[in-house]
Chain A
Amino acid sequence: MSEAFLLIGSIFMLLAGLGLLRLPDVYMRLQAASKAVTMGVGLMTVGIALHFDAPGGLLRALSIFLFTYFSAPVAAHVLGRVAYFMELPLWGRTTVDDLLPVFRRGVDHGTPQALRED
């Protein structure tokens, strides 16, 4: 049972690698890097918790899960923000860029300023 969870989790992590390889721009790749990895590590920690059915194993599984669950999306968000202010190009067929009317791209890195002063 625990090994089934490991297998499913590893398939999600394989999908993360595949998405990182195949998706067309850096923002989509970061999406694969955050969501699929979080899901994969989460399922694999369920595998640990079922296999090491003792307080020590459960506690470690829980802490690995919590760290990854909270840190992977934050890391991807920070990276995506940096990529946006590095003016990395969006995919050619992207139609919505919600940040474009709000921030000047590339100007004043790290502390974006609103264009409109109302």
Chain B
Amino acid sequence: MSTTVLTTLAILVTGMVFTMVRLIRGPSSADRVAAIDVLSNLALGFIIAYAVGTDEEMLLDPALSLAVVTFLATIAFARYLAARSANGEGGSR
């Protein structure tokens, strides 16, 4: 694996650390869902960089499915948050 790809992976892991801090801190559930969204997109980038680094074209299929699942998960979380706040249970933001 070349130095450039290794640097790419290191940068992505740094981004994941920043995102994890936001995921833990919150303060609202919407922040956390946004953090999960960015985190899975960073994982998508990590898979892409790893696929290029190891020259494994098969790894692009998990990346593609992760791209789809990320979107669906974010939409599902958003609908859950909307339903919860509509029921008046917005206590733990």
Contact = CB atoms under 8 A, between A and B. Distances in A.
Is B truly associated with A? yes
Nearest to A2: B52
5 contacts: A6-B8, A13-B42, A52-B57, A79-B77, A82-B30
B72 to A, nearest CB: 9
Interface on chain B toward A: helix, strand, loop, or mixed SS? Answer: helix
Contacts, number: 179
A50 B63 CA distance: 17
B61 A21 contact: no
Given A41-B41, A79-B74, A86-B90, A57 B14 contact: no
A110 interface: yes
A67 B8 CA distance: 22
A56 B61 CA distance: 10
B15 A16 contact: yes
Question: How many interface residues does chain A have, given as a range?
Answer: 35 or more
Interface on chain A toward B: helix, strand, loop, or mixed SS? Answer: helix
Interface of A: 2-4, 6-7, 9-11, 13-14, 16-18, 20-21, 26, 29-30, 33, 37, 40-41, 44-45, 47-48, 51-52, 54, 56-57, 60-61, 63-64, 67-68, 71-72, 74-76, 78-79, 81-83, 85-88, 109-110
A31 to B, nearest CB: 10
Given A17-B38, A20-B38, A68-B41, A4 B48 contact: no
Contact of B48 (A48, A56, A83): A48
B58 to A, nearest CB: 10
A82 B82 contact: yes
A72 B45 contact: no
